[in-house]
Structure 1
Amino acid sequence: MLSILIPVYNYNVYPLVLELQKQCINCGIVFEIFCQDDASQSSLNAFNENINALSDCSFVSLKKNLAHRENRNSLAEQAKFEYLLFVDGDSIIIRDDYINKFISNLYDFDVVYGGRQHPEKCPSDNQKLRWKYGKFIEDKSATNREKKPFQSLLFNNTVIKKECFNQVKFDAHLKKYGHDDTQVSYQLSLLNATVNHIENVVEHGDIDINSVYLKKTKESLENLIALYEEEKIDVAFVKLIQLYHFLKGTKITFIISKIHSVFQHLLMKNLTGNHPNLFLFNWYRVGYLCAIDDKN
C-alpha cells in the first residue's frame, strides 16, 4: 500500500524510521520504508545501517552522488506500492497519528500534503534567517494552503500516487539546490491533479545556519531563472518570477542589478548576522535575480 521514501544526506534518520515503522505497524498496513543516502560518506551512516535490522525497512548509501532530485526519482522508481510518501530526512514526527492521518485522507486524491512547521523558538541566533523565513513565510495552515493548492505544495511531507508521480518526476537536469518542488507542482497543475491539503505537519529539524541558507537561496534563484528561461514554469505560477518578468519587461533589471552590487555586502551582513530582516531578505532576492539577468 504505502512506500515511505526518505532521501538522506549526512543525517541520522534512524529515530525517524523507528517512529514511522511503529506507526505503520499500529495502523496494520502493508508498507516499506526505503532510505537512500546520496553518497555523503557520513560517519552518521553507522547509525543508519541499523535501519536494515528493522522489518520492512532498508537503508542504502550510494557510492556516486545523484543530487537531491535524482535521489528522489531513484527512490520512487524502486518503490513497490501504489502510494509514495516523501519525507525529508531531517523531519521530526510530532503526531502519534501521523500515518493514520494520511491513510484516512488518501482516497479520491492524487496528492496529499501534510505541511511543515518550524520550532517555536529558534535554536540559535546563527540559524535565524532560515528559521524566520520558515516560520513566518513557509509555515501555513491547511486552510491557507488550500487557497493556492499547487503553489503551496512541497514534497517534504507528501503522499502522491505512484502513477501520478511517474508522469511528472523531479527535473534531474537541475543540479543546484532549490525549486524542485516548484517544477513538480507546476507539472501537477497542468495534469489537473487532485490535491488535498491537511493538518499533518512534521517539524523541520535540521535548520541551516544563516550563511549556508543564503548560499542555498542564491542557488535556488539560479534554478528559478533556469526554469523561467526554459519555459518549464508559467510566469504567473511564482510571484517572484512575475515581478522579475515585469522588471525585465520595463528594462530596469540593469539598474536594480547595479544597486544590488552597491548594497549587497550590507545586506549580506544583516542576513548572516544575529538579527536578519525578512524585508531585506526579499530585497536581496529581487536584486540577485536582476544581477543574474545582467550577467546573461
Structure 2
Amino acid sequence: MLSILIPTYNYNVNALVKDLHDMAVLENIAFEIIVLDDASANVFSSETTLENVTYLRNEKNLGRTLTRKKLAETAVYENILFLDADVIPVSNDFIAKHVLEMKKDFQVVLGGYAYEKTKPERKNILRYKYGKEREERSASIRNLNPYGFIFSGNILIKKRIFLENNYSDALNLYGMDIFFAYKLYTNNVKVNHIDNPIYHLGLEANEVFFKKCLESVISRKQFLENEEGIEKVNGLLRHYKKLKKYRLTGLVSIGFKITGPFLKKMIFKKDPSLFCLDIYRLGYICAIK
C-alpha cells in the first residue's frame, strides 16, 4: 500500500526509520521502508531487525535525482512517500495523515516543512532563516500557489506520476525541484498541500547553502529559462524574463558586479538579509552565460 523512500548521503537515518516504522505499524497497512545510501563516505549502521525495512547502497555516487529514481523503481507499492534523510516528523500521526490522503483521489500531496523555534549557531543561520521565512508555510498559503512550493523532502505521490515527471538524466545539480514542479504544472498534475510537516534538521553552513543557491540559479537558467509558463512556477525566472523582455539584463549584470560584494556582506551578517539574497540571485542569473 505504501512505500516510504529515503535517499541518504553521509547522514544517520536510523532514528527516522524507527519512528516511521512504529507509526506505519500502528496504521495496520502493508508498507515498506527503503533507504538508499548514495555511496556515502561515512557508512552508518544498515543492520536492522525491523520488519519491512531495507537498506541499499549505490556502488558509486549517482546524485540525488538518479538516487530518487532508483528508489521509485525499486518500490513495490504505487503510493510512494519521499522523505529527506535529515528530517523528523513533527507529529506522531504523520503517517496516519498521509494514509488518510491515500484513501482520497490524490496524485501529489505535500505535507510541508517546519523549523524548530530555537535558532541554530550563527554558522547555520542563513539556511535556518530562509527555511523559516520561505518554506515554513501553512497549507492554505501553499495551496494559493501549489506548484511554487514543491519540496521533495516530504512528498506523497503516485509512483507512475513521479517517474513520468522526474528529471531522468545523470545530473547532480542542486535545485532540480523547480524542474519537477514545472513538469507537474505543464502536465496538469493535481497538487494538494496539507498541514503534515517534518522538521528540517540538517541545516547547511551559511557558505554551503549560499553555494547551493547559486547552483540552483544555474540549473534554472540552463533548463528552464525559455520554458513557456515557467514564470507561474518560479519567481526568480519570472523577474529575469521581465528584465530580458525589456533588454535590461546587461545593465543589471553591470550593477551586480559593482554591488555584489556589498550584497554578499548583507547575506552573511548575523541577521541575514533574504532581500539581498534575492537581489544577488537576480543579478547572478543576469551575469552568468
TM-score (structure 1 length as normaliser): 0.92
The residue aligned with 2:254 is 258
- Alignment equivalent of 1:176, drawn from 168, 173, 178: 173
Q: Which one-letter code corresponds to 1:247 in the other structure?
A: L
- Asked whether 1:188 is paired with 2:187, we answer no
Aligned-partner Cα distance in 2 for 1:244–1:103: 40
SS where residue 208 of structure 1 aligns? coil
TM-superposed CA distance for 1:173, in Å, is: 4.8
Q: Does the CA contact (< 8 Å) of 2:225 and 2:237 recur in 1?
A: no
SS where residue 96 of structure 1 aligns? coil
Aligned-partner Cα distance in 2 for 1:196–1:46: 35
TM-superposed CA distance for 1:120, in Å, is: 1.2
Aligned-partner Cα distance in 2 for 1:17–1:216: 27
- Alignment equivalent of 2:278, drawn from 258, 279, 282: 282
The residue aligned with 2:30 is 30
Deviations 1:247-290 (A, max 9, x none): 11222211211221122222222323322111111111111111
Aligned-partner Cα distance in 2 for 1:167–1:71: 15
Q: How do 1:79-228 residues align onto structure 2 when only pairs under 5 Å count?
A: 79-106=75-102, 107-178=104-175, 180-228=176-224
Q: Which one-letter code corresponds to 2:177 in the other structure?
A: D
Aligned-partner Cα distance in 1 for 2:41–2:57: 8
TM-superposed CA distance for 1:112, in Å, is: 1.0
- Asked whether 1:46 is paired with 2:10, we answer no
The residue aligned with 1:18 is 18
Deviations 1:31-84 (A, max 9, x none): 110111111221xx233x13x432111112222111111110110010000100
Aligned-partner Cα distance in 1 for 2:229–2:69: 20
Aligned-partner Cα distance in 2 for 1:232–1:78: 33
Deviations 1:205-256 (A, max 9, x none): 0011111110000000001101224638633321211110111122221121
Deviations 1:102-135 (A, max 9, x none): 0012221111110011111221111111111110
- Asked whether 1:55 is paired with 2:67, we answer no
SS where residue 61 of structure 2 aligns? coil
Deviations 1:113-163 (A, max 9, x none): 100111112211111111111101111100011111122222111110112
Q: Which one-letter code corresponds to 1:197 in the other structure?
A: H
Aligned-partner Cα distance in 1 for 2:131–2:44: 30
The residue aligned with 1:272 is 268
Identity %: 36
Q: Which one-letter code corresponds to 1:154 in the other structure?
A: F
- Asked whether 1:2 is paired with 2:24, we answer no
TM-superposed CA distance for 1:171, in Å, is: 4.2
Alpha carbons of structure 1 residues 260 and 185: separation in structure 2 relative to 1, 3 Å: same
Aligned-partner Cα distance in 2 for 1:257–1:171: 32
Q: Does the CA contact (< 8 Å) of 1:174 and 1:223 recur in 2?
A: no
Q: Does the CA contact (< 8 Å) of 1:183 and 1:232 recur in 2?
A: no
- Alignment equivalent of 2:74, drawn from 70, 75, 78: 78
Aligned-partner Cα distance in 1 for 2:39–2:228: 29
SS where residue 32 of structure 1 aligns? strand
Deviations 1:2-46 (A, max 9, x none): 00000101101000000000101111111110111111221xx23
Aligned length: 288
Unaligned runs of 5+ in 2: none
Unaligned runs of 5+ in 1: none
Q: Does the CA contact (< 8 Å) of 2:108 and 2:156 recur in 1?
A: yes
Aligned-partner Cα distance in 1 for 2:83–2:232: 28
Task: Please provide the CA RMSD for this pair.
Answer: 1.6
SS where residue 80 of structure 2 aligns? strand
